[in-house]
Structure 1
Amino acid sequence: MMSCKGCFSHYCILLGTPVGAQCPVMIQPNVPVVKFEDPLLVNCTSSTDQTKIMGWEAPYGGTRKEDVTSVLLNITSAYTWDLGPLCYITFLDGTQCEEEVPITVYQMPQSVSLSQSNQDNPMVEGKKYQMRCDIVNVAPSRNLSVYWHKGDKIIHIDTFSNVSSLQPLNQSSAFELTAGREDNGSRIWCEAALNFGPSGPDLPPMESKSHDMIAVEVPADLKISLNCTATGNPLPVYRWSLPPAMQKMMANQPVLTLSVPFVGTYNCTASNSQGTRTKSFIVTDAPSSRPGTTAGILMAVFLAVVLILGCVVYYKQRKPTVTSC
């Protein structure tokens, strides 16, 4: 008397004598990957002429057929994250074998964002910065790779192959960046990609917004001009917030010329009745890293992440409006 091993979709697999761990079947696609809630077809083909019955044991889409050499698993919607159907064969002599087919159910990230733990903007040459890339609601994490880009180079790669959960999770990748002089004008961003190998689907990666590094070195014996000019109607009024050593200086003009630059933050605000825009300049000591460079060299760094002033406030159709940038 045979007993029932498992019942799925009204079909049962009858226990016989197993013939060994290796089952003579071929699975197509050989690496099944499906997006969550999408349909999937998987074909199981027998490579032996001793096949009597073939079938699929699965939570849904199970089937059983006699006198066939292949059976098709039809998943109308992959609504669970853990799919491991079994393709089985009953041979003419009554023995059975089965092959588990792992199916990867994936979900693209909901968002990818780049942040800086120490809010010391802008970046200064020679200083270390803790960067973090956050990936929200991605599955499965074990197939996730995070690529860190600076300019046209990949500078770091993180993987999460040790994460066993198949359900969507939030993941993060940390990277310590040392800002260098060559980084002037470089873009920094992170990119999240799901990789399923050469036999799996080639999914497009998702990028974060980039951070810009803008640095200008100025010798201390030269003047520094900080240009905060904006055009508008009504004409903008300028207000500067200066380092403590500069507080006695008149600073109500759009261009601030410093014959003796002091280290610190120079914030300029241009405003009229229609709005306000702010631009920040940071003057800081630059470390000497080049022969012949004196310790008195300063770095004037323009904070590009702040709202930049090249904006125009004007009348349009006789109504004052603001164009932001």
Structure 2
Amino acid sequence: MCLTGTQAECPVQLSQKSVVVEYGGSVAVNCSASVPHYGMGWEASEGGVEKTRDSVVTWRVSDLREWDIKPFCYINYDITHDTLCEEELPVTVYKTPDSVSISIVNHTRPMMEGEQYELQCDVQDVAPVQNLTVKWYKGQTLLSQTNFTDTSRTPVNEVAKLLIRPNRTDDGAQFWCEAKLDLGAEGPQPPPKKTSEPLSITVHFKPIISETKLPSIVTVFRGYPVVLVCEAEGNPKPKISWSLSENVDGDKLTVSESTPENVHCNASNSVGTTTRQVKVFIQGTQAKCPVQFSQKSVVVEYGGSVAVNCTASVPHYGMGWEASEGGVDKTSAIVVTWRVSDLREWDIKPFCYINYDITHDTPCEEELPVTVYKTPDSVTIGIVNHRGPMKEGKQYELQCDVQDVAPVQNLTVKWYKGQTLLDQTTFTDTSITPVNEVAKLLITADRADDGAQYRCKAELNLGAEGPQPPPTKTSKPLNAEVNYKPKHSNSTETIVKNNEVTLDCTVKAKPAPTYTWHSEHLKEKINSPVLLSSKLSPGNYTCTATNSQGSDRKVFIVQQKDRTTFWAIVISGVVVAVALIVTYLIYKFKCSKNSII
């Protein structure tokens, strides 16, 4: 059957512009003739209707099982020619997934804090996959989402993956994924979705000893023992041990004047061991060592200078400073100064001592807390194991390298996209000498990120005694390049033809897309994004934009402008013009008559 036509517009109307139907479901769409005709019907692999003289014919299927069905209504409205025109009905057949499941790739044991793992979401037997979105959740928080570019119409199995780097707060967290079919305005509302069972994760992490329960310095007065409590959080549950075997009761240690100057608490599990040192000061009946510092604590840059006074608040028999740099011998002065012009000792612990009891040559001492810091030599940002443009919807890991910084426990790495703060990373390492540190950030590439600049900033927050504002160093920006497929804002557009018609299929995509046009009215291949012509016949024109990331199509429905309406406007304009002319002539006649009188 040859289907052609010279009529400006195929004189039929469909009761629905397009159809979205579940596989195995029912569908019924009317095709109505808008002019007298000599036969009309439906052509389809299922539900076709033979040519009839009726003015309405219905394409009906009670159990649709054809994935790529393309029904069209045809009509013969010209008795002089056996000429048919046709109108195709766009049909999307969908199928919800049989199952959605989540798992950890190549891993069955508990996770380790700080290590990277890959979650996998398996979506079984779903169609069409280009309408599928997989969303990832931790609890009720949306983490990421994955889209698909496969244009297959028949059911497929799809896999989405997500990289995670769990920390101790994630122990017991539930991860799950959701498969959603977004079929547009013609599809079911809300869009059908299916969710996996939750995946509960166990995270093993190294113990952390509570600083509030176990201070780093404790003062013991003679005759008054003090009980130290060492509590630690870890998974598996840590075991507590002390450097002393006597006076120990589980996680408790009783210290007295006979206790060594330094004691250690060790918290151990299968992940590692954390040690906290406690310095024990033994004092007599004096409630506090009778000295005062000009500064409560000192923050000094490596190689910088420092000077702190120690002042006696009572008469004494000798005072001074003990320190690996800048020590001061015992003197009878009231004020002694610890001074270093080029401090290069990382773990310096100066203390001022005083002998205020002539009956005992036992000085008491007061330690001055000193923090020596060093800003990073360099801060750089990069993408882990990746070169070239990123792909929309895929996940990538950014890495920030901070070289030679101290103390790392005061370091914060902040992540920025443009001027927006995305995340920040802190460190629990208690090392006070310079180290190299690495911070990582997981991102999911989006088309809006193309051209965005990512950077990381290393900030040393050294407290109120440190430099203000805190010293920072920022990486050079990482310019993100994201490839993404074409995506029109509307899948269809209706244009009423007057004279010249412009069909603009231009769409933003990277790399730049190529364009192809399909229509029964086009006699040659066209690769331009724009069709501009006064000779385009009414009908459907389908444009497909394609690049390496996928494709998207848009249907332009060109309709002939209603000539009846046009002539009605013209006639009404003529009537108004005539009325104005008559009114003007009457006015002139009256004026002439009055002038003669």
TM-score (norm 1): 0.61
Does 2:18 correspond to 1:31? yes
Counterpart in the other structure of 1:129? 117
Are residue 262 (structure 1) and residue 251 (structure 2) matched? no
Tell me what 2:88 maps to: 100
**Cα distance in 2, alignment partners of residues 83 and 89 from structure 1:** 20
* 2:195 aligned residue (207, 224, 234): 207
Matched to 1:45, the amino acid is: S
Rate the CA distance shift 1:89–1:210 in 2: closer, same or farther, 3 A: same
CA shift for structure 1 position 171: 0.7
Q: Could you tell me which residue of structure 2 aligns to residue 219 of structure 1?
A: 208
The corresponding residue for 1:119 is 107
Per the alignment, do residues 96 and 112 of structure 1 end up closer, same or farther by CA in structure 2, a change over 3 Å counting?
same
Separation in 2, partners of 1:292, 1:175: 24
Aligned equivalents of 2:133, 2:184: Cα separation in 1: 12
Partner of 2:28: 41
What one-letter code is carried by the residue in structure 2 that aligns with 1:62? G
Letter of the 2:93 partner, please give it: V
CA distance in 2: counterparts of 1:151 and 1:163, whole angstroms: 30
1:53 equivalent to 2:39? Answer yes
- 1:225-252 deviation line (CA, Å, top 9, x unaligned): 9899xxxxxxxxxxxxx99xx9xxxxxx
For 1:116 and 1:96, locate their aligned partners in 2 and report how far apart those are by CA, in whole Å: 58
Question: Which blocks of at least 5 consecutive residues in structure 2 are unaligned?
Answer: 210-229, 242-249, 253-264, 275-407, 413-424, 432-597
Shift of 1:284: 5.3
Say if 2:206 and 2:234, in contact at 8 Å, map to a contact too.
Answer: no
Higher relative contact order (CA 8 A, sep 6+): 1
Q: Distance in 2 between matches of 1:96 and 1:86?
A: 12
Q: Hey, what's the Cα distance between the residues in 2 that align with 1:16 and 1:198?
A: 31
Q: Distance in 1 between matches of 2:7 and 2:145?
A: 41
Residues 1:33 and 1:295: Cα distance change in structure 2 (over 3 Å):
same
User: Aligned pair in 2 of structure 1 residues 123, 20: CA closer, same or farther (>3 Å)?
Assistant: farther
Which residue identity lines up with residue 200 of structure 2 in the other structure? D
Aligned-pair distance for 1:121? 4.3
Where does the alignment leave 5 or more consecutive residues of structure 1 unmatched? 6-14, 229-241, 247-255, 265-282, 297-325
Q: Of residues 25, 42, 57 in structure 2, which corresponds to 1:71? A: 57
Look up the equivalent residue of 1:262 and give its one-letter code.
S
Residue in structure 1 matched with residue 439 of structure 2 by the alignment: none
Q: Measure how far apart 1:147 and its partner are.
A: 1.0
CA 1:84 to 1:49, structure 2 compared with 1: closer, same or farther past 3 Å? same
User: Normalising to structure 2: TM-score of the pair?
Assistant: 0.35
1:44–1:110 CA distance, 2 compared to 1 (3 A) = same
Q: Residue in 1 aligned with 2:455?
A: none
Does 1:189 pair with 2:198? no
Specify whether residues 118 and 222 from structure 1 end up closer, same or farther in structure 2 by C-alpha distance, changes over 3 A only: farther
Partner secondary structure for residue 170 of structure 1:
strand
Distance in 1 separating the partners of 2:162 and 2:115: 14
1:244-269 CA deviation, whole Å, 9 max, x = no partner?
Answer: xx9xxxxxxxxx989844341xxxxx
Higher helix share: 2
User: Does the residue aligned with 2:143 lie in a helix, a strand or coil?
Assistant: strand
Given that 1:226 and 1:257 are in contact with CA atoms closer than 8 Å, whether structure 2 keeps it comes out as: no
User: 1:139-180: CA deviations, max 9, x gaps?
Assistant: 2222221111123232222122x3232222111111112324
1:18 lines up with 2:5 in the alignment: yes
Could you tell me which amino acid in structure 1 is paired with residue 62 of structure 2? T
Q: Distance in 1 between matches of 2:11 and 2:273?
A: 71
Question: Rg: which structure is higher?
Answer: 2
For 1:87, which of 73, 77, 84 is the aligned residue? 73
In structure 2, relative to structure 1, the CA distance for the partners of 1:25 and 1:144 (3 Å cut) is: farther
Q: Classify 1:155/1:24 alpha carbon distance in 2 versus 1 (closer, same or farther; 3 Å).
A: farther
